[in-house]
Structure 1
Amino acid sequence: METGTADERAMLPSPFTYNDAQRRGMSDRRLYALRDSGAIESIGWGLFRWAEDGELTDPDLLEISVRAPEATLCLTTALARHGLTDQIPAAIDIALPRGRRRPQVRVPVSWHLFAPGSFSIGQERLALYQTHGIGIYNAERCLIDAFRLRRWEGPELGNEALRRWLRRPGTQPSSLLRMAREFPRTEKSLRHALEVLL
C-alpha cells in the first residue's frame, strides 16, 4: 500500500477536504492515487482521512461536523446517546442555528433550526476523532426540546425520556425546571409532566 509522504501528511492533517488538498498544491492525480492505494479513505463527498490514523468509529458524525461546525446532536438522536430512549431515528437529528445553511452530506440527516439566542443552552461536546468533535445537547436540554417540539416529535418521546431520566440516581428536577425557564412556552407542560410522574 502506498502511503503519503511526511510532507503530505503534515500539510493535510486528517480529515481534509478536496479543496484543502487543491489549495495546498496536491494534484488530482496524486490525491486519487493515494485514495486508490488505500493510503487515504473517503469519509464523505470530497472528504478524506489518512487510513493509518487508526480506527474511525463514527464517520457519519465526523462528516457532519466538518461540513457544519455548529452542528449539534438533538432530539431522538441525542436522547438515544443519553440512554433515554430506545427509538432509533431513520435520520440523524442535527440542530443548527436558524439562518445557517444546511450542508449536503452523504448520511441521512433531519435538520432542525433552533433560535440563535438559545442554541448554546445545554450544549456539550462529543469527541469524535483526534481534535474533532460535534455538539450534543445534555439530557436536560434534550428533554426540554422533546416537550417543546412534541407537536412534531409526538408526546410519547418526551414522556418516556422524562420517566427514564427521573429513575436515574442524582437527577434533580429543579435543575431541569431552571433550564426550562429559558423556554417559557415549554416550562408549563414540563412542570405538569413532572407533577404527574413524581
Structure 2
Amino acid sequence: MARALTPSTAKHEGLSRSALYRATQQGRYQRIARGIYLSTDADATDWDWVEATTRRADATICLTSALAHHDLIDTIPAALDIAIPRGSRTPACGPSIAWHQFDRATFEIGRDEIAIPGTDLAIGIYSQARSIVDAYRLRGEIGYELPRDALKEWLRRGGKPPELIGIASRLPRAQGPIQQALDALG
C-alpha cells in the first residue's frame, strides 16, 4: 500500500526533507500536488482524493461528486466536491478540488469513510440519502435538475422516503424541498 508523504511526514519513512526531494528527482517518488508525494511504484489511484485527505483528515466527498460516486447521476463533476466543517481553514490547492464548508453541528450526519484504492488512506463520503438532501438544500449552487435526477434514481433502486425525510429534518432548509419533491414524484 502506498503512503502519501509530505515534507513534514517524510521522517516517518526515514527520509529527511532533502532526501525526499532527492528521491523525487531520482524518480522514486512523484509529486502529485504541491507538497504531496507518492511512491512511483504505487498503484493507480485518484490523486484528488489523496490530496484532499492529506490536506484535511476530515475531508468528505459531497454534492455532485458524492452523487456521481454513488452512481445516482450521469454527470461528471468538473472538480472534486469536498466538505469540511464551517470555520475550518480551507486548504490552498488547485482547481481540481472545490471546498465547501458545512455546519459543524450537522457535519457528521450521513458521513461514512471509504478506503482510497492503492493507498493506506481513507476519505469521508456522504451517504446517498445525505447527498440527495444536500443537493436539494444547495440546488441554487449545483442546479435544479441534478437533485431531481438523483432522487428519481435513488427511489427506483428502492430508496426509502422516511430515511430521506429523517435526514432532511436534521438539516437547515432541507425538509420543505425534499417533501415537495417526494410529493411531486409520489
TM-score when normalising by structure 1? 0.85
Bigger relative contact order, structure 1 or 2 (CA pairs below 8 A, ≥6 apart): 2
The separation in 2 between residues aligned to 1:38 and 1:184, in whole angstroms, is 49
> Which of 138, 144, 151 lines up with 2:127 in the alignment?
138
Match of 1:109 in 2: 97
TM-score (norm 2): 0.90
Give unpaired runs (5+ residues) of structure 1. Answer: 1-12
Q: 1:82 aligned to 2:70?
A: yes
Q: CA RMSD in A?
A: 1.9
Whole-Å Cα distance in 2 between the matches of residues 109 and 89 of structure 1?
10
Match of 2:167 in 1: 179
Distance 2:21 2:161 in 1: 54
Aligned twin of 2:182: 194
The gaps in structure 2 that reach 5 residues or longer are none
| Post-superposition offset of 1:184 | 5.0
1:141-180 to 2 correspondence within 5 Å?
Answer: 141-169=130-158, 171-180=159-168
Segment drifting more, 100-109 vs 153-162: 100-109
C-alpha distance 61-27 of structure 1, shift in aligned 2 (>3 A): closer
8 A Cα contact 1:60 1:107, kept in partner:
no
The DSSP-based 3-state class of the residue aligned with 1:41 is strand
Counterpart of 2:45?
57
Alpha-carbon separation, structure 2, partners of 1:185 and 1:15 = 38
Distance 1:35-1:149 versus aligned 2 partners, 3 A rule: same
| Number of equivalenced pairs | 183
**Gap change, CA 1:80 and 1:22, over 3 Å in 2:** same
Between the aligned partners of 1:16 and 1:152, the Cα distance in structure 2 is 34
Equivalent in 12, 21, 24 of residue 10 of structure 2: 21
Q: CA deviation at 1:38?
A: 1.7
> 1:45 aligned to 2:16?
no
- State the identity as a percent: 38
How far apart, in 2, do the equivalents of 1:177 and 1:27 lie?
50
- SS at 2:51 equivalent: helix
Partner of 2:88: 100
Please, which of 68, 71, 74 is the counterpart of residue 59 of structure 2?
Answer: 71
Q: Rate the CA distance shift 1:127–1:107 in 2: closer, same or farther, 3 A.
A: farther
